[in-house]
Amino acid sequence: MKVPFLDLGRLHRPIRSELDAAYHRVMDSGWFIIGPELEAFESEFAHYSEVKHCVGVGNGLEALHLLLLAYGIGPGDEVLVPSNTFIATWLAVSQCGASPVAVEPDVRTHNMDPARLEQAITSRTKAIMPVHLYGQPADMDAINRVAAKHGLVVIEDAAQAQGARFQGRRAGSLGHAAATSFYPGKNLGALGDGGAVLTNDDAVADKVRRLRNYGSRVKYHHELAGANSRLDEMQAAFLRVKLKVLDDWNARRQQVAQKYLAGLAGCAVQLPFVPEGMDPVWHLFVVRCTERSRLQAHLTEHQIGTVIHYPIPPHRQSSYSGFASHHLPLADQLAAEVLSLPMAPDLSNAEVGAVVDAVRQWSC
Ligand SMILES: Cc1ncc(COP(=O)(O)O)c(C=O)c1O
């Protein structure tokens, strides 16, 4: 049986008429940038995320970048980031003129290891940016404790974790502020680029609101050297439709994950680990395997789509050539071993069964 890694056309079919209606509503309104759809989405997503403010921006990278600017982080400053993340987490820091400082993960969860934070802190450290990788929150109580002790800002990169909970609290509400991405493949994905900042801090929300719109509160009055990074009306309208089904879709991801965990127990692949108190949303279902390329080839032969998140850690990218000598063995090891199996709310039980059978055939 052919199992796609992710088929967004198929995923959207059950909500197609509502997405069409959203498109027509915006088209008929003739209003495309900063208007009623954005305002409504910001209020609905802030409520969903259990924070006071949501500010829609152009994409997840910009959400991180504008937040760092809002906290005044710039040249000479250091920000602690995971060694194993999508490059956007690092780029946001570099784009402010600050330096990313890599912290290795806990290899069981793949998330930033709080026990490694203090040794990375210097007099220049201003912030910690944990990523809730693959949809599972980082150990935020421990991270917040270290941050409070050293007077650091905590900015969550919640791009992969819309709806996840940590000790009952929503991802996006666990630090001083959070950034998220509505890239189409995310759990809450737009039909194009999009992102948002989440925070309970009135001043930070106000600053990001100005920074995203040419530094302006009143048209043609520019108080800050801002960016043009706005979540447009069309994407906001689509996101309002998709926010209504997010919990149902996340619940189905959870069922798929449980089927994988039960079906693959005892196989020669390392399965995801969920610590007590975590309620992940399974943006990705990532296994580890020392013979990854053979496993991936076997699954491809069986028409099962897989992807590697991520094959090259940031410090090995040519854009970060200055970091090539940094000793980050866990990021290197994970990059060599991780493999993402198909994960989407529209996977049928038969498709999940086909993935389980194919992995078992190879490794059990
Ligand atoms: C962990 C993480 N951070 C940041 C981003 C950046 O989001 P965007 O692609 O919307 O800029 C992404 C996704 O692409 C991501 O997965």
Across residues 22-45, what is the average pLDDT?
Answer: 98
Task: Point out the ligand 1 atom lying closest to the alpha carbon of residue 131.
Answer: 1
Q: State phi, psi for 217 to the nearest 5 degrees.
A: -105, -40
Ligand 1, CB cutoff 6 Å, lining residues: 59-61, 85-86, 88-89, 131, 157, 159-160, 181, 183, 193, 195
Q: What confidence score (pLDDT) does residue 361 get?
A: 95
Separation of alpha carbons 60 and 91, rounded Å: 11
How far, CA to CA in Å, does 93 sit from each of 26, 69, 96, 125, 210?
35, 9, 5, 12, 20
| pLDDT at 363 exceeding the cut of 90 | no
pLDDT in tens, 221-231: 999 999 999 99
Helix, strand or coil, per DSSP, at residue 54 = strand
Distance 181 CA to ligand 1 centre (A): 6
Average pLDDT, the chain: 98
Distance 246 CA to ligand 1 centre (A): 18
Of residues 148, 147, 175, 149, the one with CA closest to residue 161: 175
Amino acid identity of residue 3, one-letter, is V
Task: Point out the ligand 1 atom lying closest to the alpha carbon of residue 59.
Answer: 10
∠ at Cα 98 (148, 78), nearest 5°?
35
Distance 81 CA to ligand 1 centre (A): 14
Distance 319 CA to ligand 1 centre (A): 17
Across residues 289-310, what is the average pLDDT?
Answer: 97
Helix, strand or coil, per DSSP, at residue 191 = coil
Binned at pLDDT 50, 70 and 90, residue 68 comes out as very high
Residue position matching structure tokens 């930070």: 204
Phi-psi domain of 323 (left: phi exceeds 0; alpha: psi -120 through 50; beta: other): alpha
pLDDT in tens, 149-162: 999 999 999 999 99
